[in-house]
């Protein structure tokens, strides 16, 4: 029995061991399969990713290729200008511009330079019978709108028509639309006409709640860039300068509207006091703000008659994006060797918030290269800037001065060319501005936040410092400035201001005392700036190029726009990288996003600033 039991146990053990061995081998096989399938999946994902990348590059390349193909314009067409896009001095090369992909939202923009070129081209294009203006609002500054209006007036000398129609016209849109031969309004529409207002935002109370004190050092009673951090409302000096330039801009608008509508200026002012904005369309017709009240189908019938289009056919309307790519007829054949360089300086100077704006090193290099290029016979420096870094402004000013010593340099001011924006303009041979340009603001300031209360009282964070010298930790944002530090900063500001007015005095052939009298940070509209000799002549980008041509004595020439724009693919990658964050912030903050941008932009500036008092928002 014992022997049989032992044999049975031995068999059981053998069977169990065999089972265990098979189980182990099976586990090994499963592990091998797991690693094999995992590796295959990783390789598959990588291959799919590469294929997707190649397909994306192919699609983008195709889009870029298509976007660069010239447009064919049929006969009896009209140029459609809706202005449902942001107008900038010079648009970027983004092949996906205007398309939305979730949070990747491409802002639809058009360059003012392209827009003016299209209006000029349409003037002599036999295929374009006229212009159809259909604006609701215009996303541009007043000076840009003025330049478009001037181009429209020149277009009318060809004998071609300009027909304007709107459901609701904002003040900028109405100002532009009055240049038309026929101005129509929807019977249920209205015209926004109530005068200009400038809005300011003040952060003093918000900063107090956070426990942040903005320590300010400045020169000039008008240098009100710092007021949002010191006060809860405008100072008397700030209110005075704001009223002065707003009245100047409003007066220029009234002069142009008065001439177009054949109405008296006082009559227009009376209508603005009645606030036409919230009155019915028949009020606008009764007061002669528009010619007739018509529905869209009636407008289309008018356009068909003007273009000789049969009733059964559609009006051939060409938008600005298509017309930009239409070839322009040139009397002179071949590529002209002599050039006029238009160099764009748009945005804050050396602001570190984003890649947009003016980088002093990059812009000064562009001016230097244009100065050394013998084929470039004249330079137009197109400025649309509220200023920024005082040091960056000096770097650019130096190159402008050197360029002006070798060839004609014309500073063309856009919507705003103030503080640092004026600093870089003052060395030019001629300064040209639109009637509604904002300029001046000759002054500098320093702004150092003291976040001691925020860190210590609010967050419970304390600091301790070890220094080798008495003021080694200057400038600190975790404590208030000492008397010595504030006096030293004030001395630096005074020296910087003296340099600024010296540059202006040298460029404008004025005494320093005279510059100081009109400086001290005061902002001027161009009409007032002309009286005090801060600018030389009125005109926009087109007139600046004409003046450059005359000063350089050129007959056959071509325009080169500088700095060179980034490759479309590079611009697209940049757009994708920044759009997600910006899109999220805009969605969350809504209308208040602009206040975040203003505060972030000012706080991020480094060093002494030569900047506009605020970002002007005129309604």
The pLDDT of residue 306 is: 96
pLDDT interval class at 30 (50, 70, 90): low
> Whole-number mean pLDDT of the chain?
85
Among 73-77, 230-234, 423-427, top mean pLDDT goes to 423-427
| Alpha carbon distance 238, 220 (integer Å) | 11
Q: How confident is the model at residue 596 (pLDDT cuts 50, 70, 90)?
A: low
Residue 19 has pLDDT above 80, yes or no: no
Q: What is residue 521's predicted lDDT score, i.e. its pLDDT?
A: 86
Residue 174 has which token pair? 């109405």
Pick the most confident of 82-96, 365-379, 437-451. Answer: 365-379
Confidence of residue 109 (pLDDT cuts 50, 70, 90): confident
Q: Is the pLDDT of residue 122 over 90?
A: yes
Rounded-to-integer distance, Cα 68 and Cα 70, Å = 6
Q: Read off the DSSP letter of residue 345.
A: E
Range 70-194+275-329 classified under CATH 3.90.226.10: yes
Q: Which band of pLDDT confidence, cut at 50, 70 and 90, is reported for residue 269?
A: very high
| DSSP secondary structure string for all residues of 100-157 | EETTEE---EEEHHHHHHHHHHHHH-TTEEEEEE--S--BS-HHHHHHHHHHHHHHHT
DSSP string covering 253-267: HHHHHHHHHT--HHH
When mean pLDDT is compared across 203-212, 327-336, 491-500, the lowest value belongs to 327-336
Query: Given a cut of 50, is residue 2 above it in pLDDT?
Result: no
Q: Which of 547, 549, 519, 344 is nearest to 432 (CA)?
A: 547
At 579, is the pLDDT very low, low, confident or very high (cuts 50, 70, 90)? very low
> Where are the domains positioned within the chain?
37-67, 70-194+275-329, 339-464+471-571+605-611
Tell me the mean pLDDT in the region 105-121.
Answer: 86
Helix (H, G, I), strand (E, B) or coil at 386: coil
The SS3 of residue 185 is strand
- Rounded-to-integer distance, Cα 553 and Cα 547, Å: 10
Say if residues 417 and 411 touch (Cβ distance below 8 Å): yes
Percent residues over pLDDT 90 in the chain: 60
Domains 70-194+275-329 and 339-464+471-571+605-611 share a fold: yes
CATH fit for domain 339-464+471-571+605-611, picks 3.65.10.10, 3.90.50.10, 3.90.226.10, 3.40.50.720:
3.90.226.10
Radius of gyration of the chain (CA): 32
For the cut 90, the answer to whether the pLDDT of residue 103 exceeds it is no
Check pLDDT > 50 for residue 5. Answer: no
| Alpha-carbon gap, residue 335 to 606, rounded angstroms | 44
- Residue 7 has a pLDDT of 54
> What confidence score (pLDDT) does residue 615 get?
57
User: Helix/strand/coil (H, E, C) string of 514-569?
Assistant: HHHHHCCCCEEEHHHHHHCCCCCEECCHHHHHHHHHHHCCCCCCEEEEECCCCCHH
Q: Which helix (H) or strand (E) holds 320?
A: helix 320-324
pTM: 0.83
61 — phi, psi (to 5°)?
Answer: -60, -40
Cα dihedral 261, 265, 270, 273 in deg (nearest 10):
100
- Tell me the pLDDT tens digit for each residue of 140-170: 999 999 999 999 999 999 999 999 999 999 9
User: What pLDDT shows up at residue 354?
Assistant: 53
For residues 541 and 380, the answer to whether their CB atoms sit within 8 Å is yes
What are 339-391's pLDDT values in tens digits?
999 999 999 998 755 567 899 999 999 999 999 999 999 999 999 999 999 99
């Amino acid at each position: 029995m014992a022997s049989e039991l032992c044999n049975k146990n031995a068999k059981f053990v053998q069977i169990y061991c065999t089972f265990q061995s098979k189980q182990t081998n099976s586990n090994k096989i499963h592990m091998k399969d797991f690693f094999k399938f995992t590796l295959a999946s990783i390789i598959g994902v990588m291959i799919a990713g590469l294929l997707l990348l190649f397909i994306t590059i192919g699609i983008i390349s195709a889009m870029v290729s298509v976007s660069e193909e010239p447009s064919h314009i049929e006969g009896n067409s009209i140029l459609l200008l809706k202005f449902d896009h942001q107008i900038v001095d010079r648009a970027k090369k983004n092949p996906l511009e205007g398309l939305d992909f979730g949070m990747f939202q491409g802002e639809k923009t058009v360059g003012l330079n392209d827009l003016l070129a299209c209006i000029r081209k349409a003037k002599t294009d036999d295929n374009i019978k006229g212009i159809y203006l259909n604006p609701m609002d215009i996303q541009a500054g007043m000076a840009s709108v003025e330049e478009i209006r001037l181009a429209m007036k020149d277009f009318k000398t060809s004998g071609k028509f300009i027909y304007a129609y709107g459901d609701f016209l904002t003040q900028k849109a109405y100002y532009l639309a009055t240049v038309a031969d026929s101005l129509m309004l929807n019977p249920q529409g209205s015209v926004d006409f109530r005068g200009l207002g400038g809005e300011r935002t003040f952060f003093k109370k918000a900063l107090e709640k956070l426990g942040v004190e903005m320590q300010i050092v400045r020169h000039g009673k008008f240098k009100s860039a710092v007021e949002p951090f010191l006060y809860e409302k405008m100072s008397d000096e700030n209110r005075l300068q704001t009223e002065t330039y707003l009245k100047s801009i409003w007066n220029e608008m009234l002069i142009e509207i008065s001439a177009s509508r054949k109405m008296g200026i006082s009559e227009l002012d009376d209508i603005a006091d009645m606030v036409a904005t919230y009155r019915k369309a028949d009020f606008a017709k009764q007061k002669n703000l528009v010619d007739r009240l018509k529905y869209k189908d009636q407008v289309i019938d008018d356009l068909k008659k003007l273009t000789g289009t049969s009733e059964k056919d559609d009006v051939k309307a060409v938008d600005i994006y298509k017309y930009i790519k239409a070839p322009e007829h040139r009397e002179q054949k071949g590529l002209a060797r002599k050039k006029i360089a238009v160099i764009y300086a748009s945005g804050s100077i050396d602001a570190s918030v984003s890649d947009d704006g003016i980088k002093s090193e990059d812009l000064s290099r562009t001016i230097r290269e244009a100065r050394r290029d013998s084929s470039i016979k004249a330079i137009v420096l197109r400025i649309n800037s509220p200023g920024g870094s005082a040091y960056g402004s000096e770097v650019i000013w130096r190159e402008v001065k050197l360029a002006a010593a070798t060839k004609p340099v014309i500073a063309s001011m856009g919507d705003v060319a103030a503080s640092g924006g004026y600093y870089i303009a003052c060395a030019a041979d001629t300064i040209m501005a639109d009637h509604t340009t904002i300029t001046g603001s000759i002054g500098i300031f320093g702004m150092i936040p003291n976040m001691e209360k925020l860190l210590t009282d609010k967050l419970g964070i304390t600091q301790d410092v070890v220094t080798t010298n008495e003021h080694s930790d200057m400038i600190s944002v975790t404590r208030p400035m000492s008397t010595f530090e504030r006096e030293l900063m004030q001395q630096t500001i005074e020296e910087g201001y003296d340099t600024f007015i010296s540059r202006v005095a040298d460029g404008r052939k004025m005494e320093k005392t005279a510059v100081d009298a009109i400086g001290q940070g005061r902002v001027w509209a161009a009409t007032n700036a002309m009286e005090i000799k801060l600018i030389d002549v009125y005109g926009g980008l087109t007139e600046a190029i004409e003046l450059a041509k005359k000063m350089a004595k050129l007959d056959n020439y071509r325009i080169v726009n500088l700095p060179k724009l980034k490759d479309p693919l590079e611009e697209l990658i940049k757009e994708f990288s920044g759009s997600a964050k910006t899109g999220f912030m805009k969605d969350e903050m809504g209308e208040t996003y602009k206040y975040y941008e203003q505060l972030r932009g000012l706080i991020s500036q480094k060093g002494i600033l030569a900047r506009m008092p605020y970002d002007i928002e005129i309604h």
